[in-house]
Structure formats: C-alpha cells, structure tokens
Amino acid sequence: MLRGLPRKPRIAVFKFASCDGCQLSLLDAEDELLAVADAVEIAYFPEASRRMLKGPYDIGLVEGSITTHHDAERIQQVRRQCRTLITIGACATAGGIQALRNWKDANEFVRHVYARPDFIQTLKMSTPIAEHVPVDGELRGCPINKNQLVELVSALVAGRKPNIPTHSVCMECKRQGTVCLLVARGVACLGPVTQAGCGALCPRYGRGCYGCFGPMEAANPASLSEIFRAQGRPNDAIVRDFRNFNAWAWQFRQASEEAERA
C-alpha cells in the first residue's frame, strides 16, 4: 500500500454524509499543519482551499458515510482516483450516528423533518465506505484524534507502518494511571470493547467511555452487557450504550439488538 509513493505525495480529502469534524481535525493540527503542507501536496481539500486539482491522487482521505444514490456513485469515482484510500471517522468507518436510521423508516423521518419531502432523495440506510469500495486503512473516532492523523500522514510519507493500535481503551487508562471507573465506581464504561486512540480521554475526566472509536479487535460486547446488567443497568440503557456513533459496526449492532430482545 505504501510502496512507491512519490517524494511529495498528492493528498485529496473527500466528504460524504458527515459533520466535517474529522476534516477539521486536519486544520486543527495547526502546529503540524505547516510541516504537513510541506511534506505533501494538498491537491484537493475543498474545506480548506479553493484550489482544487484534478486526480489521480496518491492518498485519499474520506470522511462521511454513504446515504444517497449520488454518494454511492461518487465513492466509486473517488476510489478510482486514489492509489491509497483511507477512511476517517465513525461515519466513514461505521456509518456514523446517522446509521440510527437503519433501524427505522428513513422516509418517515423525511416526511417529518422537511417542509418539501419531495425534494429529498435518500437511501434507506447509512453505510460505511468499506461496504461500497475496498479501503486501505482507517482512522476511527468521532471525531478522529489529530495525533493519529498526523501519525498516519507521517508514516505514509516515510513509507513506514503507522502506529494505530487496535486494542482496548483500557490499556490507555492503565498506561496513564487512570483508575478504572467500571471497577472502582460502577460506571458503565465501553472502554473494554472500544478501540484505543483517544488517549482514554473520557475516563481521564471521570466519564465512562462512549465508544467513539468503535469496536476494538476481538471485542466481546456480550460479556460487557452482562457486566452492565449485573450492575443493575436496564436493557434499554444498554441498547443506547451501543447504539451511538458506531451503532452500525457489527459487534455493537449485535450487542444492541441482543439487549433489545432481552
């Protein structure tokens, strides 16, 4: 995936159904941004610059999920134009918060929300990019962590493997000495089933992990649901715990549906 990148790879940033928060992480990396702009050619990044150069691109960063027919066609073109395609954020990697529609009737939302429903054309489901085209790598999070983004770009430029761990958030808690909220305070924390990358931000501030980074490798949400239940958490709360930014990630989907049936 990384071999043979030019000295100054051309980067493009694409947006699908999303809030722009992940793209903003790139702009937010102010300190590193100048160096990034030096090391890569930002060829297409409508959020940041009016200069929009034509493809093909060496690296494509894709934010957002597929929610319209137009999206579904456009992602095919984007894929064709990018040698390396990286999805960024919960929308692109799991379908995002908008995937909550997948359990409901999207047309009904359209009727209630829009003054002219006939102007709206939308798919029934919000789906991750990888359900439509092959993806070479992903950055999780809602939003992504800017340090991970800088790490990814640095690694791609250097031709090395990026350090993007796939283990649990718990490991980040323990390495930084955060006392476990689940064990010491009975807080419903999704850390044991959630992928690291945020630096265990919420637990560090005394809040249970919301699962922004989605399921970690070998996630076992069924066991975590059992633990929550044993601590007296009702099933409808457990459904909501898993039905969040990464609701459509299959491990979380399974867990919320199982809690719904329980």
Partner 1 sequence: MTEPAAQPSGAVWLTREGLNQLLGALRAQGYEVIGPRLGEGAIIYDRIQTIEDLPAGWTEEQEAGRYRLRRRQDDALFGYNLGPQSWKKFLHPPVLRLFSAEKNNGEFRILPPDGESPRYAFVGVRACELAAIAVQDRVLLGDQFVEPNYEARRKELFIVAVQCTRAAPTCFCSSMGTGPQVQGGADLVLTELSEGFVARAASARGAEVLAAIERRPASAEECRQAEEAVAAAAAQIVRRLDTRDLVRRLYEACESPHWDDVARRCLACTNCTMVCPTCFCTTVEDTSTVTGDRAERWRKWDSCFTESFSYIHGGSVRTSVRSRYRQWLTHKLASWVDQFDMFGCVGCGRCITWCPAGIDLTEEVKKLLAPV
Binding interface with ligand SF4 (CB under 6 A): 169-170, 173, 178, 180-182, 189, 191-192, 200, 203, 209
- Of all residues in the shown chain, the one whose CB is closest to ligand SF4 is 191
Q: 200 touches which of ligand SF4, partner 1, none (CB within 5 to 8 A by kind)? A: ligand SF4
Q: 52 touches which of ligand SF4, partner 1, none (CB within 5 to 8 A by kind)? A: none
Based on CB atoms, which residue is closest to ligand SF4, 5 or 212? 212
Residue 126 near residue 101 (C-beta atoms within 8 A): yes
> Considering the complex, what minimum distance in angstroms separates the CB of residue 180 from ligand SF4?
3
Based on CB atoms, which residue is closest to ligand SF4, 117 or 186? 186
**Footprint of partner 1 (CB under 8 A):** 32, 35-36, 38-39, 150-151, 153-155, 157-158, 160, 163, 165-168, 170-171, 174-186, 191-193, 206, 217-218, 220, 222-224, 226-227
Based on CB atoms, which residue is closest to ligand SF4, 85 or 90? 90
| C-beta atoms surrounding 38 within 10 Å | 9
Residue 245 near residue 96 (C-beta atoms within 8 A): yes
Based on CB atoms, which residue is closest to ligand SF4, 55 or 208? 208
> Considering the complex, what minimum distance in angstroms separates the CB of residue 252 from ligand SF4?
16
> Considering the complex, what minimum distance in angstroms separates the CB of residue 137 from partner 1?
15
Q: What is the spatial distance between Cα 104 and Cα 247, in angstroms, rounded to a whole number? A: 13
Residue 102 near residue 115 (C-beta atoms within 8 A): no
